[in-house]
Amino acid sequence: MSLQSIKYSPGKLEILDQLLLPVISKYIPVKGVEDGWKVINKMQVRGAPAIAIVGCLSLAVEIFPEEFETKKVLRQEIEGKLNYLVSARPTAVNMKIAADELINLANELTKDESCTVQTMKQKYLDAAEGMLQSDIADNKAIGANGANAILSNTQKDSPVRVLTHCNTGSLATAGYGTALGVVRKLHELKKLEHVYCTETRPYNQGARLTAFELVHDKLPATLVLDSMVAALLRSKNVAGVVVGADRVAANGDTANKIGTYQIAVVAKHHGVPFYVAAPLTSIDLKIPSGDHIIIEERPDRELTHVGEHRIAAPGITCWNPAFDVTPAALITGIITEVGVFSPEKLREEISSRQKETK
């Protein structure tokens, strides 16, 4: 069984504390929105889809035991608290899209005279819980679409070597993963010769989390440092790079974990296809390009220390953007649950489908 980052039952939410992995596997309770904001901001839970699911479920467990006098009060609670959760980490769009969707639902139910306040609360709980189920199904579809795209660029019957960055697996989602879902699907099809995962400094999502998942699930895998990617693509016959996304703009520019951009540049130089795997909930058609994406900057300590151990010279200043933007021109295809699209086709293909799914 693959790792489970989020455990939920009505009124109870726990997350696997990703700051402690891979040394300690410990679930911690999330009792409400304040806890939800903190675990997202501290990165005890991280990965764009997992952030959104935990955020919305943290409000679900908070309102579960509460009684609301009117629908207006409940609606204000939903709007205020979801917007607060959006502020925990600004780059990934999934929490914002989920918040907007749930606030719309609350607005509609407030207007609907046949709906009681109890029914309105239950509908919020159902919608938040539904995100857990739909995320896994979407990831499986992304896995199948992505494996197919990578294999279609190669000689059909030979297993492939791929490279991935950061952690996009079960730990970053409700399960299975996006880019790591593509890797998992290749393995299920017996078409994965090898996966290379980058260390992903400074937070080491690759070395700590992706490597943990790959070892746990017994996939043929090797860890490389971020600085080894050019050497790797030159010498190891890698068939494709597949990474996740925190926000894809309408023109296909993609914000993802810092270091993604330079991998895309290196992939272009070596003629290696570069894929972004992202659910529709990571695609932000409201912004025309990556220039409009706010990049979160995190504390210097992530660069100067590994755990409690200082590795940088005291007194040095640091720059620590958590994400970078890969220009669409470097992206071969964006793998979604509804198909694989070139950046140029993204807006046209996705706009109707995002509406359909609402």
Which DSSP string corresponds to 279-313?
-GGGEETTSSSGGGPPPPB--THHHHEETTEE-SP
- Taking the complex as a whole, the smallest distance from the CB of residue 103 to ligand MRU amounts, in Å, to 22
CB of 243 to ligand MRU, least distance (A): 6
Q: Does 52 bind ligand MRU (CB under 6 A)?
A: no
Binding mask 88-107 for ligand MRU (x = CB under 6 A): ----x---------------
Task: Name which of residues 141 to 180 contact ligand MRU (CB under 6 A).
Answer: 166, 168, 172-173, 178
Does 246 qualify as catalytic in the annotation?
A: yes
Contact present, 46 and 172 (Cβ < 8 Å): yes
Rounded Cα–Cα distance for residues 226 and 44 (Å): 23
Q: Are strands 274-277 and 333-336 parallel, antiparallel or unpaired?
A: parallel
Q: Which residue is nearest to ligand MRU (CB)?
A: 244
Nearer to ligand MRU (CB atom), residue 39 or residue 166 = 166
Q: Could you tell me how many residues of this chain bind ligand MRU (CB under 6 A)?
A: 17
Determine, following the binding rule CB under 6 A, whether residue 62 of this chain makes contact with ligand MRU: no
CA distances from 351 to 146, 150, 248, 284, 340 (A): 20, 25, 13, 10, 14
Distance between CA 20 and CA 208 in Å, rounded? Answer: 9
Mask for 314-333, x = binds ligand MRU (CB under 6 A)? --------x-----------
Q: Does the footprint of ligand MRU cover residue 337 (CB under 6 A)?
A: no
- CA–chain centroid gap for 290, Å, is 17
CB of 168 to ligand MRU, least distance (A): 4
DSSP state of 321: B
Per the structure block, which two tokens stand in for 185? 């699907």
Sign of CA dihedral 167, 182, 53, 108: positive
40, burial (CB in 10 Å: exposed 0-12, middle 13-18, buried 19+): buried
Q: DSSP class of residue 197?
A: E
Of 246, 253, 284, 324, catalytic: 246
Say whether residue 336 binds ligand MRU (CB under 6 A): no
Q: Which is nearer to ligand MRU, 244 or 273 (CB)?
A: 244
> How far apart, in whole angstroms, are the C-alpha atoms of residue 352 and residue 358?
10
String marking each residue 238-257 x if it binds ligand MRU according to CB under 6 A: ------xxx---------xx
Nearer to ligand MRU, 106 or 290 (CB): 290
In the complex with ligand MRU, which residue's Cβ is closer, 142 or 151? 142
DSSP state of 6: E
Given candidates 205, 210, 281, 304, which one binds ligand MRU under the rule CB under 6 A?
A: 205
Which of 46, 71, 96, 185 is the binder for ligand MRU (CB under 6 A)?
46
Beta sheet of 283-284, edge-to-edge order: 283-284, 247-249, 254-257, 323-326
135 touches ligand MRU by CB under 6 A: no
Minimal distance in Å, beta carbon 50 to ligand MRU?
Answer: 7
Binding site for ligand MRU (CB under 6 A): 46-49, 92, 166, 168, 172-173, 178, 205, 244-246, 256-257, 322
Catalytic residue numbers, as ranges: 246
